[in-house]
Amino acid sequence: MDQKLQMAGTQSQLEMGSLAVNVSLHEFEDESLFSPESVIQKMQPGHISEYGSAPGGFQPGGSKMGKNVVYKSIKTVVFSNKLNLLIPFGPLTILVHILTGHNGLVFLLSLLGIIPLAERLGYATEQLAMYTGPTVGGLLNATFGNATELIIAIYALRNGMIRVVQLSLLGSILSNMLLVLGCAFFCGGLVFYRKEQVFNKASATVNSGLLLMAVMGLLFPAVLHFTHTEVHYGKSELALSRFSSCIMLGVYAAYLFFQLKSRKDPYIPLSEDESQHGENEDDNDEIPEIGKWESVIWLLIMTAWISILSEYLVNAIEGTSRAWNIPISFIGVILLPIVGNAAEHAGAIMFAMKDKLDISLGVAIGSSTQISMFGFGWNVLSRN
C-alpha cells in the first residue's frame, strides 16, 4: 500500500514538473513571438531581472566609457595638429598682462594664441557640418569661420575704436579674396600641374554680384561724406549708411533663404546634377572624427577662448602701435585678418589640393560675402 502511494506521488510530481516545463516553454514562445528583445535580454548573463539583481553582482556603469570618450575627443581635437603647439600662448597672454602689462608682448602673445583656436574652430565646424548636411554645413563654416573677426569687432566697438573695426573688416575681405584664394589656386596648381582645375561659374557669379552690391552699399555713404553734398550735414550720411546696412542685411538673409530652401546645389543644371550624383556620393563618404555634441561643446569652448583673448588683443592695439612704431592701419588691415582667417586659409588650401576648387571658392568668397554683407551692416546698426 505504501509503495503504491509513493509511486502515485512520484508520478504526480513528474506530471507537475512536465506541466511547469510546458508552461515555461509556452511563455518563452509567447515572449519570442511578441517581444524578441526581452528574450535576448533574459538570455544575456548580465540581465537584471525585475525580481532581483544581476547574477554575480554585475552593475553596468558608463563612467569608464565616458572617460574614454572625453580622452579620445581631447586627443583628437587638441593633440592631433602641430599648430596647437601655440595654444599655451593664450594663458601666457593673461599672465604677461597681469605681471608686466607690456602692450607689445600682450598683443604678440594673444595674436599667436588666437591662431590655433581659430583653426580648431574651423575644424569643429567642419565636423559638425558632416551631421547637418552640405548646405547647413556651408553656412556653419562661413559663420564660425568669421567668428574671430566679429568678436574682435565687438570689443573694438565697445572701446570706441571705430577705425580698427573698419580696417579689420576691410582687411578680412582683402585677405580672403587675395591671400587665401591666391594661395588655394597656387597650391592646387602645384599638386595638379598636369590638369586644368575647373570651378562652377554660376556660383562664383552669384557671390561676385553680392560683393559688388556690398561695395556699392559702402561706397554711397563715403561719396556723400567726401563730396560734402549732404542736405543735412551729418544726418544724411548717417541715414544713408543705416539704409544701406538694412538693404545688405535683407539681401544676405534672402541669399541664405535661397541656399537653405533650394535643392542641394542650385547652380548645377539638372542634367549635370544627375550625372554627377554618383561622384558626389563618393566624395561625401568622409567619416566624422568626433560626435555631434562633442563638436558643439568644442565650438563653445573655442569661441569663449577667442573672446577672452580678443579682449586683450584689442586693448593692446594702441599701445603696440606706439611701442613698435607701426601704424594702426597696418595692424588692422594685415595682422588681424591673418589671425582671423587662419581657418579659411587652411581649409581653402586643403580643398584645392584635393581638386575641390568649388569648395575653396565657397570658403574664400563666401567668407568675404558674409563679412561685407552681414559684418559691416550689423556693426553699423549696432553702433548707431
Sheet strands (E) in 214-344: none
How buried is residue 116: exposed, middle or buried, by Cβ count under 10 Å (0-12/13-18/19+)? buried
- Whole-number pLDDT of residue 90: 92
Task: Give the pLDDT of residue 95.
Answer: 94
Maximum separation of any 2 CA atoms in the chain, in Å: 131
Tens digit of pLDDT at every position of the chain (384 positions): 444 444 445 455 444 444 444 444 444 344 443 444 443 444 444 443 433 344 444 444 556 777 788 888 888 888 888 888 999 999 999 999 999 888 999 999 998 998 888 888 878 887 887 887 666 766 776 677 777 888 888 888 888 888 888 888 899 898 888 988 899 899 999 988 888 888 878 778 888 889 999 999 888 888 887 887 776 666 778 888 889 999 999 998 888 888 777 655 554 544 444 444 444 444 455 788 888 888 889 988 988 898 899 889 988 998 899 989 999 889 988 888 888 777 777 778 888 888 888 878 877 888 888 899 988 888 888 875
* Residues 6+ away with beta carbon under 8 Å from 38: 31
57-62 long-range contacts (CB < 8 A, ≥24 apart) are none
Instruction: Tell which residue, 219, 215, 202, 205, has the closest CA to residue 174.
Output: 215
* Cell numbers standing for residue 287: 567619416
Distance CA 149, CA 78 (A): 22
pTM of the model: 0.70
Collect contacts of 74-77 with beta carbons under 8 A, ≥24 apart: 76/289, 76/290, 77/120, 77/123, 77/124, 77/290, 77/298
Contact (CB, 8 A) for 143 and 272: no
